[in-house]
């Protein structure tokens, strides 16, 4: 049962990160079309945001591994 809980946690975190990345990238592209002169700054901010969003599934995998292998 622990393995199932770990798998659900990883899948949930991956889906949440995918939706989060989609939202960040969509808003960044919209902002770039409105203000092209800020595109360099917007890209840098987008990459920082994506990195923070992608940290969540990594932590979920770590917690899942702890749940599976530490008994």
Judged against a pLDDT cut of 80, whether residue 66 lies above it is answered with yes
pLDDT value at position 50?
97
Which residue is listed with tokens 């890209």? 43
- Cβ-Cβ contacts under 8 Å for 51 (sequence gap 6 or more): none
**For residue 71, what pLDDT is reported?**
73
Per-residue model confidence as pLDDT tens digits over 2-36: 899 899 999 999 999 999 999 999 999 999 999 99
Q: How far apart are CA 7 and CA 15, in angstroms?
A: 12
**Which single residue is written with the structure tokens 């199932």?**
4
Q: Say if residues 25 and 40 touch (Cβ distance below 8 Å).
A: no
Mean pLDDT of the chain: 94
pTM for the model stands at: 0.83
| Annotated domain spans of the chain | 2-69
Fold of 2-69: F1FO ATP Synthase (1.20.20)
């Amino acid at each position: 049962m622990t393995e199932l809980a770990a798998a659900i946690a990883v899948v949930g975190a991956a889906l949440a990160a995918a939706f989060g990345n989609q939202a960040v990238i969509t808003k960044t592209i919209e902002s770039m079309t409105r203000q092209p002169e800020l595109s360099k700054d917007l890209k840098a901010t987008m990459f920082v945001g994506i990195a923070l969003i992608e940290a969540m599934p990594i932590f979920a995998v770590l917690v899942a591994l702890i749940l599976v292998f530490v008994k």
